[in-house]
């Protein structure tokens, strides 16, 4: 064994296990007073419906429906489909209640459909200023809605929370969840617990300080707010726990935001009356910048339990002390009750980005087991005595020599897992990926605040030293999805299916002993949940990221999934996905046994990449443009200016004329499409340096004989 140096012994408070002394007794009085429609009972016992994002408060995403099962799933066909009015990534799980299917769309739009026929009932558009997309790190996606009483709730990318009438889609109330003058984004689904609408936010890549807010479901009145990281001590602390947390930070972290945004996972246990929050990465990513003398930096990359009615802290477990790699613990949280080593336990489980699968006692926060579900290089194991990961010292060395596994996409990202109480297994849509993390002070000097490299750190997905032609195979080698079945009682793997593509799709399990998953190549599949055998697949014409769900109407079971390639995985990685011709066809598809529906024929054509006869920029300008491109453009338009297929590939035409570049990139001529202008953020000269860089990549692509397939008219 290599000698391990623990670089994390800084900070006065041990992050590992700070457990509360007691748990609150069940409080269901708020539920009893809830209006007609969706109540706590609806979400606890949904039967054939799917009234909450994870179906139930425990977020297991498992349905007891079994009319579609291993014997007959081969006969499943399309019942109906609805093309969606968007070309951006679709990550939402639909909800089903009282015969209606509710689906959120990019930007925070929402639609309702007749769940049996597919007829559109309404379409809500929050009228987001599309230029707000400049603050979205990872596409303008939205992962879902919440239902309570007769209301439906959705949050828009610009940080507003909307209460809509389930019947009409009309706005009942709206609040702006942002602190004034901050650039938060919301992509996650609200939850409603004890009559309170719970919502977090994203933006740790842009310098945010994370928090979770609870609003009265009837009025939108703010009831409590829990900050996940401390602010400037000079301003006072919002709670005693933040004073404790501040002891694990140093320097002037608040100037960098601190991070800890809770952008996806929540779970609720009405018996303990605790709300569990998945907390995100630090801001800046680079701990050397945000907390120069180290420290755990609570509560970044932690699971935090708070009292649902008040937001008061109860316990936390930090998965990645002093996070340095964007290892969020925002990933799906699942609650279950099970026998662990002879003792009945109320557990909470998570497979966060860092590659470890954690099982904790959710009453006390005690760590029960932790083992890596994917190969990792940043740590060797979790020390069960301290509850802390034992890091590989090279992982913080900022070395071009050391490949950190996993990279910032994580060994598992937002793609929902599922826990099947029949098989006793948790299924993880995992991914292999890696990155080099280096300190880059050229970028620090620029003082930009939205940046894939984010303040004084570069993350090099595929280093420049590797010739372009070799990148796709390397990427395939280091980046591939794996479907894993794992037993949380023993924290042992039961089976795994290596999948050829580099990013995953969300999961659904059912008591038909089935596991459903879509993939980015455009297939929707059903597996035997016991052994992983593939039993059925359906070609969907476009990549799927979102998790499927299932429901029953008039005694008939349906399986629904929203497709629409994009998001964090979809936008930046055209270099990897491009050759496979990924497309965004945003569409809700609903299947049933003997469904006879058919998808439309979609025309396609081939285009050859051409470098037109215009002068190219100087090498200096190309180099300057490359850095700027990495800060402003890469998240949407892709590394090496290769688009992943849903955002325009700049090399095919746009970059060619000076006038078009100025009109669109500088002046914002396509603002209504979601392409913000950068005047005021960059000089015209800098904008044109980006053009020079894109023109340079165009020339290289043309020399490679690059071509693409374009779908649609």
C-alpha 298/C-alpha 329 separation (Å) is 12
Burial class (CB in 10 A: 0-12, 13-18, 19+), 634: buried
Helix (H, G, I), strand (E, B) or coil at 12: coil
Q: State how far the alpha carbon of 303 is from the alpha carbons of 31, 261, 262, 343, 385, in Å.
A: 25, 12, 10, 23, 19
CB 432 within 8 A of CB 480: yes
Least distance (Å) from Ca ion to the CB of residue 327?
9
> In degrees, to the nearest 5, what angle opens at C-alpha 323 toward C-alphas 489 and 203?
105
Of 151 and 201, the one with the shorter C-beta distance to Ca ion is 201
**Which positions from 227 through 266 interact with Ca ion, judged by CB under 5 A?**
none
Least distance (Å) from Ca ion to the CB of residue 92?
20
Give me 397's structure tokens.
């060395």
Of 336 and 431, the one with the shorter C-beta distance to Ca ion is 431
Fill in the DSSP letter of residue 72: T
Of 158 and 264, the one with the shorter C-beta distance to Ca ion is 264
Give me 237's structure tokens.
């602390």
Stretch that binds Ca ion, among 114-122, 157-165, 276-284, 399-407 (CB under 5 A): 276-284
Stretch that binds Ca ion, among 171-179, 186-194, 277-285, 669-677 (CB under 5 A): 277-285
C-alpha 337/C-alpha 495 separation (Å) is 22
Least distance (Å) from Ca ion to the CB of residue 183?
15
Q: Which residues pair with 460 in a beta bridge?
A: 436
Of 413 and 550, the one with the shorter C-beta distance to Ca ion is 413
Alpha carbon distance, N-terminus to C-terminus of the chain = 59
Catalytic residue, from 58, 264, 309, 326: name it.
Answer: 326
457 binds Ca ion (CB under 5 A): no
**Which positions from 6 through 45 interact with Ca ion, judged by CB under 5 A?**
none
Nearest CA among 264, 76, 106, 77 for reference residue 586: 106
Of 321 and 578, the one with the shorter C-beta distance to Ca ion is 321
Of 358 and 635, the one with the shorter C-beta distance to Ca ion is 635
Least distance (Å) from Ca ion to the CB of residue 353?
8
Stretch that binds Ca ion, among 193-201, 278-286, 609-617, 670-678 (CB under 5 A): 278-286
Stretch that binds Ca ion, among 186-194, 274-282, 305-313, 695-703 (CB under 5 A): 274-282
Nearest CA among 410, 103, 371 for reference residue 278: 410
Nearest CA among 238, 231, 161 for reference residue 192: 161
Give me 511's structure tokens.
């008591």
Number of residues that bind Ca ion (CB under 5 A): 2
Of 319 and 491, the one with the shorter C-beta distance to Ca ion is 319
CB 11 within 8 A of CB 293: no
Least distance (Å) from Ca ion to the CB of residue 665?
26
Stretch that binds Ca ion, among 279-287, 303-311, 347-355, 626-634 (CB under 5 A): 279-287
Least distance (Å) from Ca ion to the CB of residue 205?
6
C-alpha 468/C-alpha 485 separation (Å) is 35
Least distance (Å) from Ca ion to the CB of residue 204?
5
C-alpha 549/C-alpha 98 separation (Å) is 15
**Which positions from 297 through 356 interact with Ca ion, judged by CB under 5 A?**
326
C-alpha 50/C-alpha 684 separation (Å) is 51
Nearest CA among 533, 389, 492 for reference residue 70: 533
The label of the residue with tokens 């998945």 reads 278
Of 49 and 326, the one with the shorter C-beta distance to Ca ion is 326
Least distance (Å) from Ca ion to the CB of residue 264?
10
- Which of 281, 291, 319, 509 lies at the binding interface for Ca ion (CB under 5 A)? 281
Question: CB-based contacts of 6: which residues, under 8 Å, 6+ apart?
Answer: 388, 390, 391
Least distance (Å) from Ca ion to the CB of residue 137?
7
Stretch that binds Ca ion, among 142-150, 280-288, 553-561, 595-603 (CB under 5 A): 280-288
Helix 619-632 and helix 684-703, axial crossing angle in degrees, nearest 10: 100
Active site residue 476: no
Give me 354's structure tokens.
């860092």
Nearest CA among 170, 314, 185, 179 for reference residue 240: 314
Q: Measured on CA atoms in the order 506, 509, 510, 514, is the torsion positive or negative?
A: positive
Of 263 and 317, the one with the shorter C-beta distance to Ca ion is 263
Which residues form the interface with Ca ion (CB under 5 A)? 281, 326
Residues annotated as catalytic are 326
């Amino acid at each position: 064994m290599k000698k391990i140096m623990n670089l994390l012994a800084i900070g006065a408070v041990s992050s590992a296990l700070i457990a509360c002394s007691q748990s609150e007794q069940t409080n269901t009085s708020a539920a009893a007073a809830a209006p007609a429609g969706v109540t706590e009972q609806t979400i606890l016992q949904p039967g054939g419906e799917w009234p909450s994002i994870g179906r139930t408060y425990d977020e297991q995403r498992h349905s007891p429906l079994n009319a579609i099962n291993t014997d007959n799933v081969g006969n499943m066909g399309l019942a109906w489909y609805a093309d969606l009015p968007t070309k951006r990534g679709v990550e939402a799980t639909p909800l089903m209640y009282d015969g209606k299917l509710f689906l959120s769309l990019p930007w925070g739009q929402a639609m309702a459909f007749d769940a049996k026929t597919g007829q559109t009932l309404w379409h809500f558009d929050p009228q987001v200023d599309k230029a707000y997309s400049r603050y979205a790190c990872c596409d303008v996606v939205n992962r879902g809605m919440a239902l309570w009483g007769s209301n439906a709730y959705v949050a828009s990318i610009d940080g507003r929370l909307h209460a809509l009438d389930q019947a009409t889609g009309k706005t009942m109330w709206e609040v702006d969840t942002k602190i004034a003058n901050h650039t938060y984004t919301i992509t996650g689904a609200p939850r409603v617990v004890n009559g309170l609408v719970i919502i977090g936010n994203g933006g740790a890549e842009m310098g945010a300080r994370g928090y979770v807010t609870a609003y009265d479901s009837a009025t939108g009145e703010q009831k409590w707010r829990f900050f996940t990281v401390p602010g400037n001590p000079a301003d006072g602390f919002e709670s005693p726990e933040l004073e404790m947390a501040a002891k694990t930070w140093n320097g002037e972290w608040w100037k960098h935001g601190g991070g800890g945004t809770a952008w996806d996972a929540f779970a609720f246990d009405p018996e303990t009356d605790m709300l569990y929050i998945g907390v995100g990465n630090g801001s800046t990513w680079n701990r050397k910048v945000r907390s120069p003398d180290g420290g755990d930096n609570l509560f970044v990359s932690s699971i935090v339990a708070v009292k649902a009615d008040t937001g008061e802290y109860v316990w936390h477990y930090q998965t990645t002390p002093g996070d340095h790699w964007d290892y969020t613990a925002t990933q799906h949280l699942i609650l279950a009750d099970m026998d662990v080593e002879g003792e009945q336990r109320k557990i909470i489980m998570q497979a966060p980005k860092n590659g470890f699968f954690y099982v904790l006692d959710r009453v006390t926060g005690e760590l029960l087991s932790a083992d890596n579900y994917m190969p990792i290089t940043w740590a060797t194991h979790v020390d069960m005595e301290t509850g802390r990961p034992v890091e590989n010292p090279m992982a913080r060395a900022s070395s071009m020599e050391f490949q950190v596994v996993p990279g910032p996409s994580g060994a598992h990202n937002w793609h929902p897992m599922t826990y099947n109480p029949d098989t006793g297994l948790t299924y993880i849509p995992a991914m292999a990926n890696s990155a080099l993390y280096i300190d880059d002070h050229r970028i620090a000097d620029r003082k930009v605040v939205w940046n894939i490299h984010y303040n004084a750190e570069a993350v090099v997905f595929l280093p420049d030293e590797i010739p372009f032609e070799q990148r796709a195979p390397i990427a395939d080698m280091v980046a591939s999805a794996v479907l894993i079945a794992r037993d949380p009682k023993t924290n042992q793997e039961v089976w795994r299916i290596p999948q050829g593509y580099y990013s995953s799709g969300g999961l659904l399990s059912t008591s038909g002993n089935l596991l459903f998953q879509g993939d980015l190549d455009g297939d929707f599949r059903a597996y035997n949940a016991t052994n992983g055998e593939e039993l059925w697949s359906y070609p969907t014409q476009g990549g799927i990221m979102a998790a499927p769900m299932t429901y029953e109407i008039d005694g008939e079971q349906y399986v629904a999934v929203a497709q629409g390639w994009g998001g964090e995985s979809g936008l930046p990685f055209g270099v990897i996905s491009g050759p496979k011709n990924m497309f965004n066809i945003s569409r809700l598809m609903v299947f049933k046994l003997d469904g006879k529906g058919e998808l439309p024929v979609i025309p396609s054509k081939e285009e050859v990449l051409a470098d037109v006869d215009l002068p190219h920029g100087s090498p200096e300008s190309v180099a300057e443009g490359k850095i700027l491109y990495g800060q402003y453009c890469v998240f949407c338009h892709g590394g090496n200016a290769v688009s992943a297929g849903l955002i325009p590939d700049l090399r095919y035409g746009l970059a060619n004329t000076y006038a078009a570049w100025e009109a669109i990139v500088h002046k914002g001529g396509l603002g209504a499409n979601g392409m913000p202008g950068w005047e005021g953020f960059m000089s015209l000269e800098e904008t044109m340096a980006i053009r020079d860089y894109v023109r340079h990549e165009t020339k290289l692509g043309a020399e490679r004989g690059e071509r693409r397939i374009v779908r649609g008219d």
